[in-house]
Chains A and B, each alone.
Chain A
């Protein structure tokens, strides 16, 4: 039960409860991200359209990646070991350059549906990726009415899509860690270091480069676009250039802007709604009754139907959305028309020093009813250069701003082109031999997975590896004190180890020696931890 709706998601029995709850949360938040509050979107759009959307999000969450990705429900990244670390750095710098525009909050760069670099928390990156992957898969499709393509030049194009963020996500974006010194009014954060590493583009913390290396190499990598790009290093605060827009940090800017000019913001959002042909004020009285009256049956059917159509996928999830008894119409209406200013204040109160995901979850638990109305409109700006996409989350007024779109477009165009060419050449190389072992390394903080399993046809050993990994992962997530484990069946022995930040699973391919299962110190299974330590070093996984 959330937001006066009853949600039901069914799956096969093998999927652990934790995963399926997470999956439903993800699905709902994805829907809200692109369509806004659930109730409102069902008032604005036809049910068939929306059920198509549900199917789309569902298939995105399920499809495309390997079973291992499903186990950890993590993001797909490009294989960092196969490309030049400098490229990752360059991608990060492009993103930072874009942030010079005060209307740009954060962004990520994706290549062929995989992350190259991101500044956003994992949950948000996932949402952004849905749209990108979809457009990447169906590039020839004409743009839908709600998207306005305002620049199309050959392989390079940009588009904007309205999206909705919940307050904690906005807050996380508004508080880039480097600027916290000049923001005395913002609530204190208990663990700035953790926050910093989270919001840093993943390249910086992931590649073996030290901070020193970064400072040395960055000017040569992208000297033409960024004279002042070291937002990650605190010592460089002084060199942060006081360009007109960024003299105040974006959060402060946005806040003052909103509070002084709330009427403007209001009309902004109305503009968007008008562009869809329906304003909120039109939805009242009888028409609303019609919308909600016979919802139950039909909605379930449409959704199930559409899902089943487009769903020949592995797990066979079904989603059912059912409207709760609408006892709170008035209440809800009040929420919808609550002034933006008040919401903003609310947001301020809500800021805890917690990680955004945790906050998001807590909020879902505690004030599920309010969350519906508290989604804040934002715009997703995308700049596509063939398979490479720069996706930025920008303030709602960004598309109508006179200079900002141009500025961002031109500042990033050249470097994006360059990056695309580099990525294309480097990623075309054939993958090396996978080695006589399987491993999966899951980064809990960045929600990413490194494995040598993808790409090849799953053999029996791989399947047993995936099975054991799923089992160990669910064990680790239940038992916090568990540190490492070896489990063995007749066919395979898998070693799993975890720390606060990561989980690693390892299986050695070998003709399984006949063994009785009786305790035997010479058993090959117990040599796994050592082997894992040695083998995985070259994949950048340090288990020592």
Chain B
């Protein structure tokens, strides 16, 4: 019984995702009221009816009180979490008790993050984002929704089953030699070859990495590239998992996955040959309004599609060589740009092992200019608004002129423009300013998001060559890697800690984690044993992470807890680069409605590190976390000793170089 919905201020549903149970209950609720013989209402209409009261009351609250709900629970134990980003209202619902309020909030932020990754700065303009999330054309809308729904499902599956998504840090395969060899190979052979090739169509590989399921084997960034943030890397892994879900072993497929027919479409085929990629047809270069064109294209392509049901829509298999457009945070010498367009090439080597290339696209300069202008207009808008409230003196005159000359230059560079210019009185500047921002976002959309914006790419031959190169390199390791990804490290390798059941060690500065595998499979007996006990411990670990986050949110960096037969510890500490332990400082206690603690959606730890660095300005600060689960019968002093030894022991493996 889960649902997530995005609605505009006018109560229009921009996007929704439901699980089958929620869909069924909604259909029962509204199907039952129908007369016999009448067709049950379209599911989207049911969703509309279901949420309309909530959306309306929410906007009434905002209008009347300037405040709104963040969450509420109903008498039948449904939890609703609401969050407003600009003009879009996000509502997450859970009715089966599987998700907490925090989980729902996190899901909302993750969806926000995913839309940012897919649409970039278009998300800055609500008007444009609305069009992007809910295109007029039904088929196109189905496609967009289907993609986002798939991504959300992938995220939920990973969060429920993968420790790295539980704690929101990337897990590496622990095999230093192989890792080093692969990095060297990526650098010397692969990236160099592609970037010097004539077939690259102006693109330049900036990052290349190899994923084994969700675990990172090797990662290489070219010298002039900005570092890839953990948040972006995690989001990219979700994207890769969405394209090539880790369901290679049907026996190990989780119930969540098999329930979703959408992902299972790959199961009978070879998942490498029929990937599930958002279809991007070749556009006509002359047409500006590509959306309509695409609509026509789709209409001719898929006539059999039922209009009101997304579930029946077939996604045409797509050419895997078409890159996905992703927007990533970059910090270059020119400055900080939150959503720079990149092309992502996802090359499946074998089921479960994927090579990912991230390239800088040739026209990304425009994105920088647009971002700078947006910044400028935001500042101008702010000053104008201030001027409107206080003295009407036109104090914003200078930035206007400056911006004008800059934008004139920009327009000349851009060649064509439909930007309205009008410099008039101060009060009329404000809407102009807003309009200008929307126009800028529209240009950005046209350049990077709209269909056809990704027409240039690395040639298929080049992609194939890259793939073959890495395949050859890793051929002998293939089976090993697949097994290794399931049992990366195991508790057996830690015999010196009797009574230690599980641990998770996280380097928050690098966004990486180490933990013994907690794979719960029906077939193989894991170290935790089979069946209920293993599930119980997994549930305990998941709940411990929630508890630790709760206390961290309130400013507590050390937590020990005796819970039933187990003893939990949680530690967070800071070190400088040489491993010297730094003193704790008072960490701010955040209100309950603050953004979720994590790295994927809203990077709490980055803020924490920035906050700490203010106290230790001279040093590079690193942040670590350790969670342990011990048997409750072990005396506390031994448990604490274990924790301390474990932290020392784990310090070394986490030093595997990322570059």
- Chain A residues close to B by CB (< 8 Å): 1, 13-14, 17, 467-468, 471, 475, 479, 481-491, 493, 514-521, 523, 525-526, 529
Contacts and interface: CB of A to CB of B under 8 A. Distances in A.
Contacts of B564: 481, 483
B157 interface: no
Nearest to A12: B591
User: Interface residues of B: mostly helix, strand, loop or mixed?
Assistant: mixed
Contact of A519 (B555, B583, B591, B640): B640
B557 A471 contact: no
B585 A526 contact: no
A519 B647 contact: yes
A9 to B, nearest CB: 13
A44 B340 CA distance: 69
A516 B574 contact: yes
A523 B584 CA distance: 13
Contacts of B626: 519
Contacts of B581: 516-518
B440 interface: no
A519 B569 contact: yes
B637 A521 contact: yes
Nearest to A496: B561
A339 B586 CA distance: 64
Contact of A488 (B75, B558, B589): B558
Given A483-B562, A484-B561, A523 B640 contact: yes
A506 to B, nearest CB: 14
A525 B624 CA distance: 20
B629 interface: no
B562 A482 contact: yes
A479 to B, nearest CB: 7
Given A487-B551, A526-B636, A520 B560 contact: no
Nearest to A528: B560
B559 A487 contact: yes
B554 A486 contact: no
B538 to A, nearest CB: 16
Interface of B: 70, 73, 75, 543, 547, 550-551, 554-564, 569, 571-575, 581-587, 589, 591-593, 624, 626, 636-637, 640-641, 643-644, 646-647
B560 A518 contact: no
B647 A490 contact: no
A525 B558 contact: yes
22 contacts: A13-B591, A13-B592, A467-B554, A467-B589, A471-B551, A475-B547, A481-B563, A483-B562, A484-B561, A485-B559, A487-B551, A488-B559, A489-B556, A489-B586, A490-B555, A516-B575, A517-B557, A517-B573, A518-B571, A519-B643, A519-B647, A520-B644
B573 A516 contact: yes
B582 A516 contact: yes
Contacts of B582: 516
Top 10 A-B residue pairs of the complex, sorted by shortest distance between their CB atoms: A519-B643, A516-B581, A517-B573, A521-B640, A488-B558, A481-B564, A519-B644, A518-B573, A490-B586, A487-B556
A521 B563 contact: no
B592 A489 contact: no
Given A471-B554, A479-B563, A487-B556, 7 more contacts: A471-B550, A489-B557, A516-B574, A518-B581, A518-B624, A520-B640, A521-B641
A486 B583 CA distance: 19
Contacts of B574: 516-517
Contact of A491 (B73, B562, B571, B586): B586
Contacts of A475: 547, 550
Contact of B556 (A482, A488, A520): A488
B551 A517 contact: no
A515 B562 contact: no
Contacts of B587: 489-490
Contacts of A490: 555, 557, 584-587
A485 B572 contact: no
Nearest to A520: B644
Nearest to B568: A485
Contacts of B547: 475, 479
Contacts of A471: 550-551, 554, 556
Nearest to A526: B640
Nearest to A481: B564
B571 A482 contact: no
Contacts of A525: 558
Given A516-B584, A519-B647, A483 B563 contact: yes
B641 A468 contact: no
A485 B560 contact: yes
A213 B59 CA distance: 67
B573 A521 contact: no
A516 B583 contact: yes
A518 B643 CA distance: 9
A517 B550 CA distance: 17
A515 B584 contact: yes
A468 B589 CA distance: 11
Nearest to A486: B560
A485 B562 contact: yes
B415 to A, nearest CB: 52
A475 B543 CA distance: 12
Contacts of A521: 637, 640-641, 644
Contacts of B637: 521, 526
A489 B585 CA distance: 8
A486 B641 contact: no
Contact of A517 (B554, B572, B591): B572
Contacts of B575: 516
A475 to B, nearest CB: 7
Nearest to A519: B643
Contacts of B554: 467, 471
A525 B569 CA distance: 13
A488 B640 contact: no
Contact of B562 (A484, A517, A520): A484
A13 B67 CA distance: 12
A491 to B, nearest CB: 6
Contacts of A517: 557-558, 571-574, 581, 584
Contacts of B75: 1
B583 A485 contact: no
Q: Tell me which of A13, A491, A516, A518 has the highest count of chain B C-beta atoms within 10 A of its own C-beta.
A: A518
A525 to B, nearest CB: 7
A278 to B, nearest CB: 35
A364 to B, nearest CB: 12
A486 B558 contact: yes
A40 to B, nearest CB: 26
Contacts of A488: 556-559
Contacts of A520: 640, 644
A486 B586 contact: no
A486 B646 CA distance: 20
Contact of B561 (A482, A491, A519): A482
A523 B644 CA distance: 11
Q: Tell me which of B555, B640, B646 has the highest count of chain A C-beta atoms within 10 A of its own C-beta.
A: B555
Nearest to A488: B558
Q: Tell me which of B581, B584, B641, B644 has the highest count of chain A C-beta atoms within 10 A of its own C-beta.
A: B584
Given A486-B559, A521-B637, A514 B644 contact: no
A536 B551 CA distance: 26
Contacts of A489: 555-557, 584, 586-587
A520 B637 CA distance: 10
A384 to B, nearest CB: 44
Nearest to B559: A487
B611 to A, nearest CB: 12
A516 B574 CA distance: 7
B591 A14 contact: yes
A518 B647 contact: yes
B192 to A, nearest CB: 41
Nearest to B592: A13
A411 B614 CA distance: 72
Contacts of A518: 571, 573, 581, 624, 644, 647
B546 to A, nearest CB: 10
Contact of B583 (A1, A13, A484, A515): A515
